[in-house]
Each structure stands twice: as structure tokens, then as C-alpha cells.
Chain A
């Protein structure tokens, strides 16, 4: 996509740095001493339970919320000190941040005028986001997915080096989700830093190179997707064999953790190669030997366990109504 230009190699590699970032609202700490570096050329999934401080952190990056402590620098400067902020960081914080009585073209045209951008960018963004055919329709007639597309168009209008999107998959149809995935990959490949928060774990797993998880305002995890797959307790080897009792005993002798599952076993602390060798040595016939990687949802649950502010107590509707 030629309309998304590659960022200059002269730019420093570190784009956004959050140092000791803290935000308190009265006694409640929304973001707690968060340290993070957002680097170019990657799609970073920004995850956390509801109320974990994701949106507050994003808002602090673009100076919508003032930190209580610590700071955020974009290429060594505060966002508000950047001479042309829209050309450095593009954001989609809220898809409803639109005047319903404007058309998509009018909305983008106002932003382009205010940011002193080439008016041609408006048509280019309408083309990129697939809103060309509805560009003259008022925003009030748009679905949430279309509003999200317009929000993405707004974020990309200044061709920024960093794109921060809060829940961009919300309301998107299948086609829209596929388009967003492709767009994020393209943006990252062109050297841009893409930060995406979403509660749709499968979508983050599909697009992110790196995952940052926060809970109760604290950084819980910051790792690449590969690291996540390796380190998670949720990954295991699924084993099916003709003699489950015998292989269980053999595996336990090797200090493996073994749990019955479906018609086989979930084995941890031993790799597939070792399990295969042990089965051969003990003349056990294996029917299946599969490495099962956890879904991001599994990892997320594992990491944020007990770190959510809002948790349903498991009360049934019948109990609640009694």
C-alpha cells in the first residue's frame, strides 16, 4: 500500500517511552509505576481486564490525561511539545468521537485543515479505509464498524510513525477484522509502531508481535508472542497411547506433570521428543503426540488471575432473583 509510507531510517529506533508512569484518581491508582518502551516495526497488543488502566495509559501518551508521577516521551519529547503531533502519533481512542451531522469527508477535511495536512490525504484515507462510497453520508447513519473505519482513517491521516488504537475491532464485521489485521501488518512492516488494545484475544493473537498485559495499573507481562508460547504454563504435550497407565508411570518417574485429559494425557515439564523416546524405550504405542500452544486467552487468564477489578461472582440468575 503506497499510501502508507515507510518511516525514515534517520529516526531513532525508540519511539515512545513510558517511565514510571503513574495516575491516581483520589485514592484509586489507575496506572501504577508503568515502565514501557514502544518500538517501531511491531504490532503491540495492549491487554488487561476492564479498568486495568489501558485507556488511561493511552490517554497519558497523548496528553489527554496528566500523569500524577512519571512521564511519557515521544522521541525524547512530551507529546504536547511535538511541533506536528498528528504526524508523529495517530490515535483512535473513541469511535464515537465524531460529530454525527458531519459526513466522513467533512470530518477528515476539518482534521486535515486543522493539522495543515495535504487535502489529498482525505481522499487517500477514504480509499484505504473503504469508506469511499459512503464519504458523503452523515456519520449518524454509520454502523459502529464504519465509525471504527473512520476513526482509523483519522488516526492515519497525518501518516504518523505511531498508531495507537483502543479497541479497534469492536463492531467490525468479518471483512473489517480481516482488513484491520492486514492493515496492522502493513503498518508494522513499513516501520511504524502499532499499539492495539482489544478484549478480543484471538484478534490480538492473530496480529500482535508483542503482548503487554497490565492489571490494576501494573505491568504484568511484556513479551513477544514466541516468548509467551514458550513460557506459559498453559502449553503442554497431548499424549494418547495404547497403555495410558504405563506411560503415566514412566512420565512421572521423569518428574513430568501428568493430567488425564479427554482420552489421553496432558504432559508438562517434558518435551515431545523426550516423551517419544520414553515411549519407544518402554514399548508403548503412541496414537498422538501433539504440542498444544495456549491461546492468548489462556495466558491472559493465567497472568491476570486475581488482578481484575470487576469479576462476576458466579451467581446464577436464579440465585440472584431469589
Chain B
């Protein structure tokens, strides 16, 4: 399987459209993170120099949401392009075991998401340190709270891009994969319109709350084990459904 993943990375490097998309993902995520930080006075009425280092990281890491959305799009495009009429014949002739093909694509998306989100977190951390030093504030130390935020952000990107890939396999389309992942991402906002007791119940099964629990591990009284379980169930069910459809398909 490692050769197949390597071939996918090769394909990503060869095709300009994929390269530009990855570049845009990194650039936009950092840009939006910094924009959120510098517009904090307008959006939340707070002065930048009065923010703590942790608050600054919190705001800048909102750029990771942009990364998640960009990788949702990338994952759906990547999966569907290889399943497109014609291309799929070469790909499946080379990897006729559907399970292996499916796991390869999901692994590629997962590895890519991890690599990009790790790079982004390091860049965001460095940008924050730079802004802090420019404002002569106290430098950030890499403590457990920051690590939790970093891991939480990475998991969010990994989670949504994997959902998108599984969705693209299930719907056999790029819009299908993107819509599925974005629905899971934004449905909690709609659920909040229900009465509180209903929305509380529904929100507990949506991944958003679990991701926040992991992100704010030190700040909120949430069970990280419970949160991880919810995320795992979502991923496992989505992947199983995606594979079930893919396995049955004739090309």
C-alpha cells in the first residue's frame, strides 16, 4: 500500500492544479488566521495588545477552519478524479482489491491532512511569536494547553477531510463529498435553532462538540475519551458506508 500512497503523492506533485490548491490552502489559512487576529478590535471590540498569548493563538488557529474547508474540497476532488470514467479503469486494474484501493485513498488524504495541519500549526505558532515580540508581550511557551489546541486543530482537519473522501466514494461525486462534510460541519448551527433540551441532545452526537472538547481540553469539563469515541464512530460509519457503495460499483 505504501507504493500506492507514494504514487498519489507523486500525482499531487505532478499536477499543477493540486499543487496550487495545497499552496492556496496553506496561504489562505495563515492569511485568514492573521486577518482574524488583526480585526479583533472590529469583531470583538478587544485591543490586540491587551490579548494574552493564549487568546492570540486561539484566534489565529481559526485559520485551521479554512484549512479544513480547503482540504474537504481537495479530498473530494482527488477521490472523484481518480474514479472518473476512464481513469478508474487504469487505477482499479492496477489495484483490483477495492478495500486496498479505498484504504489507500483515505490514508493518502489522512497523511496529507496531518502534514499540512502540522506545518500550519508550526507556522501559526511562529507568526504568533513574531506578533507577540513585535508588541513586546510575554513570549508563548509550548505548554499542554497549546498542545491540546494543536492536536485538536489537527484532528479537526483530519476528521473533515476524511469525511469528504468517504462522501466522495459514497456519492461518486465531488459535490457529494464536499456537501456531506460541510453538512456535518455546519448542521450543529441549525440544530441550535431547536429547543434547548433537544439541541443539547443532538449536539452531543455531532462531532463539533467533541472537536471543541479536544481543542479546549484544559478549559472545558469534557471527557476526551468520550469526544474521541464520538469522532471515531463518525469516521468509522462514514468510511463503512463509503466503502459499501464503492465495493458494489461496476466501472
- Chain B residue nearest in CB terms to A79: B96
B93 A110 Cβ-Cβ under 8 A:
no
Per the 8 Å Cβ criterion, residues 50-94 of A in contact with B are 59, 62-66, 79-80, 82, 85-86, 89, 91, 93-94
Interface pairs (13), CB distance under 8 Å: A59-B89, A59-B250, A62-B93, A62-B96, A64-B92, A80-B96, A97-B89, A99-B81, A110-B10, A113-B10, A114-B6, A114-B94, A115-B3
Counting chain B CB atoms within 10 Å of each CB, the highest count among A97, A109, A114 belongs to: A114
B248 to chain A, nearest CB (A): 8
**Docked complex: B213-233 residues within 8 A CB-CB of A:** none
Check if B189 is an interface residue, CB within 8 A of chain A.
no
Tell me the bound Cα distance from A112 to B7 in angstroms. Answer: 8
**A64 vs B91: C-alpha distance when bound (angstroms):** 10
B89 near A93: Cβ-Cβ < 8 Å: yes
- Closest chain A residue, CB of each to CB of B98: A80
Give chain B residues whose Cβ lies under 8 Å from the Cβ of A91. 89, 93
B87 CB to closest chain A CB (Å) equals: 5
Cβ contact within 8 Å between A93 and B93: yes
Docked Cα-Cα span, A85 to B85, in Å, equals 21
Q: Indicate which residue in A64, A99, A109 contacts B251 across the interface (CB closer than 8 Å).
A: A64
Interface residue? A101 (CB, 8 A): yes
Q: Which residues of chain B are within 8 angstroms of A86 by Cβ–Cβ distance?
A: 93-94
Interface residues of B in 53-103 (CB under 8 A from A): 81, 85-90, 92-98
**A positions within 8 Å CB-CB of B:** 59, 62-66, 79-80, 82, 85-86, 89, 91, 93-94, 96-99, 101-102, 106, 109-111, 113-116, 154
Interface-central residue, A65, A98, A113, by most chain B CB under 10 Å: A113
- Grouping DSSP codes into helix (H, G, I), strand (E, B) and loop, the B interface class, with mixed when no group exceeds half, is helix
Nearest B residue (CB) for A80? B96
- Determine the distance from Cα of A102 to Cα of B7 in the docked complex, in whole angstroms: 13
Residues of B contacting A64 in the complex (Cβ-Cβ under 8 angstroms): 88-89, 92-93, 250-251
Q: Which of A62, A106, A114 contacts B4 (CB 8 A)?
A: A114
Contacts of A82 in B (CB 8 A): 96
Q: How far is the CB of A171 from chain B (nearest CB, A)?
A: 15
Interface assignment of B11: CB less than 8 Å from any CB of chain A: yes
A110 touching B7 by the CB < 8 A rule? yes
7 additional A-B residue pairs with CB within 8 Å, beyond A64-B92, A101-B17: A62-B92, A62-B96, A80-B96, A96-B85, A106-B14, A109-B10, A114-B94
How far is it, in angstroms, between the C-alpha of A59 and the C-alpha of B14 when the chains are bound? 28
- A89 to B92: give the CA distance in the assembly, Å: 12
Q: What residues of chain A lie closer than 8 Å to B93, measured between beta carbons?
A: 62, 64, 85-86, 89, 91, 93
Q: Taking the nearest CB of chain A, how far is it from the CB of B154, in angstroms?
A: 27
Chain B min CB distance to A187 (Å) = 18
Minimum CB distance partner of A56 in chain B: B250
B15, CB-defined interface residue at 8 Å: yes
- Which residues of the other chain, B, contact A89 by a CB distance below 8 angstroms? 93
A147 and B250 CA atoms in complex are apart in Å by 24
Q: Does B16 contact A (CB under 8 A)?
A: yes
Decide if B90 touches A101 in the complex (CB within 8 Å): no
Asked if B87 and A115 make an inter-chain contact with CB atoms under 8 angstroms apart, the answer reads no
What's the nearest-Cβ distance from chain B to residue A92, in Å? 9
B-side contacts of A116, CB under 8 Å: 3
Chain A residue nearest in CB terms to B14: A106
Tell whether, in the assembled complex, residue B3 and residue A96 are in contact, meaning their CB atoms are under 8 Å apart: no
Q: Indicate if the CB atoms of B86 and A98 lie closer than 8 Å.
A: yes
By the criterion CB–CB under 8 Å, are B89 and A94 in contact?
A: yes
Across the interface, do A101 and B15 meet the contact criterion of CB distance under 8 Å? Answer: yes
Contact yes or no, B89 A102, CB < 8 A: no
Assess whether B250 is in contact with A114, with CB atoms less than 8 Å apart: no
Contact residues of B between 225 and 251, Cβ < 8 Å to A: 248, 250-251
For the complex, give the distance between the alpha carbons of A109 and B10 in Å: 9
Chain B residues within an 8 Å CB radius of A154: 90
